[in-house]
Amino acid sequence: MANENQNLILKPPVVVVMGHVDHGKSSILDYIRKTNITEKEAGGITQQLGAYEVIHNNSKITFLDTPGHEAFNTIRERGTIVADIAILVIAADEGIKAQTEEALNLILNQNLPFIIAFNKIDRPEANSEKVKQELAEKGVYVESYGGKIPSVNVSAKTGEGIEELLDLILILNELNNKKIDPNSEPFGYILESGIDARKGINATCLVLEGKIKVGDLIYTATSKAKVKILENFLGKPIKEALPSSPVRVIGWENQPLVGEKFSTNIEKVDKIEKSQAKTFEELKSIEQNENILKLILKADVSGSLEALEKLIVQTLKEWSQEFEIISKSIGEINLNDLRLAETTKALIVAFRTNVSKESKNYLQSRDIKILTDEIIYKLKENLELFLKNKNQLPYKIIAEAEVLQIFSQKDKKDRQIIGCRLSSGKISKNSKFAIFRNDEEVGSGKIISIRKNKDELNEAEAVVELGLQIESSFDILSGDVLKFRIK
């Protein structure tokens, strides 16, 4: 036993960063890592679980960055399960919000040691003392209020308090005194999984105990992998992953499920019964009940798909809309998805993914409805717009235009250039429109600029062919109809 104890080391802390959307969780990590991940996120919000390593005072710290939007509750909960320490980020100028309370409850339910970071302390309206009082009213007392919860004022903009925050993490980890044997059988969790066009099926794994190496055979309850490639959080190839390390594993036979445990010892893996998926033929025979909205869900990775399903279910229940999810999967919208949607008259809802290039021709001439966006709350808005139209709310159409040609695809600002024929009414700059495809409303947008030949116009009146620069989160296609309306 004495020899075994000599092998034990202090486990490097895995830290989950939580808090309300837009309170600065990712920005704090950006300052720590001296990178700029936040600006690369669609809409400036984190929509997947990210895992990153930093070195502070010669000690490794692994951070888990979790999405703040309410649709990502399950991902946040997963973060608290695998973490050793939590940081609850609260904007000092806004105080406790809905997702702050939700995150706090998750932390307390897991009995997870945590630090409160009062962010945006550089702002004139910041008042961390007021937020401490709000916390005290909820039974959470920081050390300066006589409690045991450490707290720190920070600014992701100026860097104030960041060093103190990192020091607190290492101190709290020493107090926890969690020891592990780095040579024990490897064990950890699947944080995310997806499919890469070049490398195939991959999964982001968090190693909690032991280490995994290239060539190892690792198991989950639903999959296994002969590890062909290991990549660290920077995407660089490595030969082995040590405890508390996030690592991408390539070499899976099939896609593992997010949240599964993994190990080189199959006996350590939980047994999960796989659900029986319906075949395409079974799905085609689904009874065509017009009152039931049939859905095909697509997303870029498993965590996104999980959040999308939660959002869809919640939204449709709010609208008292009967529905059935007949298919859900990750990756681009492919030919099978389109054929299934056409056959079953299902609505395709896609998050952070679009129709594959190979399938766009099939889509052009068919009655297939697709809602897609890069930002979760915009997707919710688009779905609600679809439901409004489905329920036939009254509108007055003041102008109508048919899309004849697409001159440029949507850019990062959701802008694209189209050619259209204004068949009725009058339009002007900043005019707002609804997008109709096959007589179904699928999105909305507004005009940025109007051109006729080489002339830029402030307004135009039917009948005329025009070039429009428009702004819309929805990908417009040739044949779509833009309807300009007022209630």
Instruction: Give tens-digit pLDDT for 296-316.
Output: 999 888 888 888 998 899 888
Give the CB-side neighbour count of residue 169, counting CA atoms within 13 A.
30
Nearest to 434 by CA among 404, 478, 462, 474: 474
Contact 222/260 with Cβ under 8 angstroms? yes
Tokens of 85: 């320490």
In this predicted structure, what is the pLDDT of residue 283? Answer: 44
Q: Is the pLDDT of residue 13 over 80?
A: yes
In this predicted structure, what is the pLDDT of residue 396? Answer: 64
In this predicted structure, what is the pLDDT of residue 364? Answer: 67
User: Could you give the CA distance from residue 427 to residue 11 in angstroms, rounded to a whole number?
Assistant: 64
Q: Do domains 2-179 and 187-268 have the same CATH topology?
A: no
Fold of the domain spanning 187-268: Elongation Factor Tu (Ef-tu); domain 3 (2.40.30)
| Strand, coil or helix: 277 | coil
Q: Identify the residue with better confidence: 239 or 29.
A: 239
Q: What is the CATH number of domain 396-486?
A: 2.40.30.10
Q: Identify the residue with better confidence: 385 or 440.
A: 385
- When pLDDT is cut at 50, 70 and 90, the band that residue 195 belongs to is confident
- When pLDDT is cut at 50, 70 and 90, the band that residue 202 belongs to is confident
Residue spans of alpha helices (H) in 12-137: 25-33, 37-40, 73-82, 98-109, 128-137
pLDDT one-digit tens code per residue, 106-164 = 888 888 899 999 999 999 999 999 999 999 998 999 999 989 999 999 998 899 999 99
Domain range annotation of the chain = 2-179, 187-268, 280-390, 396-486
Contact 26/65 with Cβ under 8 angstroms? yes
The C-alpha torsion from 96 through 123 and 22 to 49, rounded to 10°, is -100
Nearest to 468 by CA among 456, 452, 450, 443: 450
Tokens of 425: 């009414």
Contact 16/83 with Cβ under 8 angstroms? yes
Phi-psi region of 310 (alpha: psi -120 to 50; beta: other; left: phi over 0): alpha
Give the mean model confidence (pLDDT) for residues 197-205: 83
Nearest to 366 by CA among 477, 259, 244: 477
Give the mean model confidence (pLDDT) for residues 218-223: 86
Residues 6+ apart with CB under 8 A from 82: 14, 16, 64, 188, 189, 191, 206, 208
Q: Could you confirm whether domain 280-390 is CATH 3.90.1170.50?
A: no
| DSSP bridge partners of 60 | 55
Among 86-100, 363-377, 465-479, whose mean pLDDT is lowest?
363-377
Whole-structure pTM value? 0.57
| Strand, coil or helix: 116 | strand
Residue type, 375: I
Tokens of 436: 């109709």
Tokens of 339: 């054929």
Mean pLDDT (the chain) is: 82
Contact 299/287 with Cβ under 8 angstroms? no
pLDDT one-digit tens code per residue, 48-93 = 446 788 888 989 998 887 654 444 456 566 667 788 999 999 999 9
Instruction: Provide the total of helices (H) and of strands (E) in the chain, helices listed first.
Output: 12, 29
| pLDDT above 90 as % of the chain | 28
Can you give the C-alpha Rg of the chain in angstroms? Answer: 26
Q: What is the CATH number of domain 2-179?
A: 3.40.50.300
Contact 264/153 with Cβ under 8 angstroms? no
Residue type, 192: E
Q: Tell me the backbone φ, ψ of residue 460, rounded to 5 degrees.
A: -150, 150
Phi-psi region of 22 (alpha: psi -120 to 50; beta: other; left: phi over 0): left
In this predicted structure, what is the pLDDT of residue 78? Answer: 65
Neighbour count for residue 267 (Cβ, 10 Å): 7
Residue type, 154: V
In this predicted structure, what is the pLDDT of residue 79? Answer: 67
User: Could you give the CA distance from residue 298 to residue 325 in angstroms, rounded to a whole number?
Assistant: 11
* 352, containing H or E segment: none
Nearest to 16 by CA among 73, 84, 75: 84
In this predicted structure, what is the pLDDT of residue 212? Answer: 92
User: Could you give the CA distance from residue 415 to residue 404 in angstroms, rounded to a whole number?
Assistant: 17
- When pLDDT is cut at 50, 70 and 90, the band that residue 165 belongs to is very high
In this predicted structure, what is the pLDDT of residue 27? Answer: 87
Among 130-139, 140-149, 176-185, 351-360, whose mean pLDDT is lowest?
351-360
Nearest to 445 by CA among 407, 419, 483: 483
The angle subtended at Cα 250 by Cα 246 and Cα 254, nearest 5°, is 115
User: Could you give the CA distance from residue 207 to residue 14 in angstroms, rounded to a whole number?
Assistant: 10
Give the mean model confidence (pLDDT) for residues 319-342: 83
DSSP string, 218-229: EE-SS-EEEEEE
* 197, containing H or E segment: none
- When pLDDT is cut at 50, 70 and 90, the band that residue 280 belongs to is very low
User: Could you give the CA distance from residue 411 to residue 358 in angstroms, rounded to a whole number?
Assistant: 21
| DSSP bridge partners of 356 | none
| Long-range contacts of 459-462, Cβ-Cβ distance < 8 Å, separation of 24 or more | 459/426, 459/427, 459/428, 459/429, 460/422, 460/426, 460/427, 460/428, 461/422, 461/425, 461/426, 462/399, 462/422, 462/423, 462/424, 462/425, 462/426
